[in-house]
Amino acid sequence: MVISRGGFQVRNHTLVKVTTDEGITGLGEGIGNAKLVAAILNAQMCNQVIGLDPFNIEFIRSKLIDSEVYFERKGSAICAASAIEMACWDIKGKKLGVPVYQLLGGRYQDRLKAYASDIYWEEDPIKMAKNAERIVDAGFKVVKAHIGYKSPAEDLIRVKRIREAIGENIGLMIDLNGGYSAFDACHAARLWETYNLTWLEEPINPNHLDALKDLRSKISIPIAAGENEFRIFGFKDLFENKAVDIAMPDIGRVGGLQETKNICVLADAYGIQVSPHNFSSGVLLAATLHLMASTPNTTLLEVDTSKNAVYQELLVEPLEFNDGYFTVPEGPGLGVEISPEILKKYQVTSF
């Protein structure tokens, strides 16, 4: 799978299973460099929560993230803490017999409009267009393509072919995965703007906040970003600098479900919608479903249609998909389980 900054052939997932003294289990996921996240969990974080009450999620969040002498403000430590925090919500929902969305404010929406994030850069633009057609034929009304491996002018043909294949009534996002310079991203937006793009995602390196702010002021395509940002403080910087139109926190990276909920509230104060980044296993998918179900200013559920091995098979109840929308599950907790069969099939004991 090719993206602007290279690509990947294998995907690793860092999943955490927390068990209480009553035998209740909860699942969580840390998103990022799987080796680093797993190392942090194994070396320290898992031991830090032994004996704590999983209902005291705020206390656990603070202990894992803010209790050390040196603050961990960004990076794999936050991802590791996100996994444990997520598992605590799963435990709490199971213990109380309610879906996690009820704990996050109750159900605001029971159907979530989805987009498929499964079109990758290919040398042949026709192959990309056919993949887009496959996704639309499956019922999706919005698709996302990863482009930017070549220059804006060279990749123009790929945007054009995909738009021609799906028609004008299907939403189309372009994800640059932070691969362009600010100059090239601006050039790309002006070349591609006639193709009615829903948004331009991660157009430049996420460290270049001033450049992102400047880019947004120069182009007409909305900018989506945030999958590489951490905690509410990082999103506060994005919002105050008017650098994004759509915020994309990843629950498994940003600090967990409560942190993401707080980011959504802050985004609402700035009039910004949130479309959480969701590209990993079925655990993150479930957490994202529950967060969005309970949060008014969330929009467009990201769905992986690449037949990832540990995606929907982790869900206790199969997701219902109809006319571009997924129905929010009603089971207790997050609604995910890892069976011994799945663990035996996919577990990686060493990297």
Mean pLDDT per block of 10 residues along the chain (351 residues) reads: 84 94 97 96 96 98 90 95 98 98 97 96 98 97 98 98 98 98 98 98 98 98 98 98 98 98 98 97 96 98 87 89 94 94 80 49
Look at the pTM and tell me if it is higher than 0.85.
yes
The pLDDT tens digits of the residues spanning 303-331 come to: 999 887 688 889 998 899 999 999 999 99
Q: What is the pLDDT of residues 331-347, one digit of tens each?
A: 999 999 998 888 888 88
Can you spell out the DSSP letters for 104-148?
TT--S-SEEEEEEEEE-B-SSHHHHHHHHHHHHHTT-SEEEEE--
pLDDT for position 342:
87
| The pLDDT value given to residue 350 | 52
Residues of the chain with CATH 3.20.20.120: 103-327
Q: What is the pLDDT of residue 201?
A: 98
Cβ atoms of residues 81 and 65 within 8 Å: yes
Find where tokens 């499956």 sit: 138
Q: What is the pLDDT of residue 306?
A: 85
Q: What is the DSSP string of 16-68?
A: EEEE-TTS-EEEEEE-S-HHHHHHHIIIIIHHHTTT--TT-HHHHHHHHHHSS
The residue among 150, 16, 163, 131 whose CA lies nearest residue 84 is: 16
Task: Give, in words, the CATH class of 14-98+340-346.
Answer: alpha beta
What span, in angstroms and rounded, lies between the C-alpha atoms of 141 and 148? 23
Distance CA 247, CA 252 (A): 15
Q: List CB contacts of 102: < 8 A, sequence separation 6 or more.
A: 93, 294
pLDDT at 343: 86
Nearest to 84 by CA among 117, 121, 52: 52
Two tokens at 233? Answer: 């403080």
Q: How many CB atoms lie within 10 A of CB 273?
A: 18
pLDDT at 349: 65
With beta carbons less than 8 A apart as the criterion, state whether 202 and 176 touch. yes
Which class for 153: exposed (0-12), middle (13-18), buried (19 or more C-beta within 10 A)? exposed
CATH architecture for residues 103-327 = Alpha-Beta Barrel (3.20)
Asked if 178 and 4 touch (Cβ cutoff 8 Å), the reply is yes
Amino acid at 179: G
